[in-house]
Structure 1
């Protein structure tokens, strides 16, 4: 064992001895100190959350809110268009071809000269 682990072991041993002796001799003082520590840490945490609330992830929060608004508008349009078309007669949907084909002009009209080939 090196010196550092021995030193840490001695400090932990003294802490345990002090805690047990305080628990036996003055339990109400120990409870009071523990409650004070919990309240103090809670106040520090609440203050930290309050101060950092607006600073952390502000851009991400704004992007999320913007996306939520767009999604809400899209859903409202979808919902609104669904109700308006159901009351009217529906027109038959024409299938659209997504293939963009072009005609390449070739030598279709000319006949092959079979004697030369």
Structure 2
């Protein structure tokens, strides 16, 4: 089921369309200038937003690289020069499983329940 839009929103849309057509009919150059100014302002804000995003990403990336290098260098340091002796592998004994024969062939007497 589709809902009807709120009457105030419908009124605003109708007035915006009316104002746009009026401006286009009477002064199209001014309308074009306003549209270009709006596009320019949106582009500037978008560029600033992307620049901030990139700065955050670069900072977190550099932090991750430092952390990774720190971990990598820590693992490569030799702790002792002794080679550990290989331990003999113990044989695992198989568990002895038994098969329990059930009453597969017999039918249940449901009347006895």
- Provide TM-score, normalisation by structure 1: 0.47
- Provide TM-score, normalisation by structure 2: 0.48
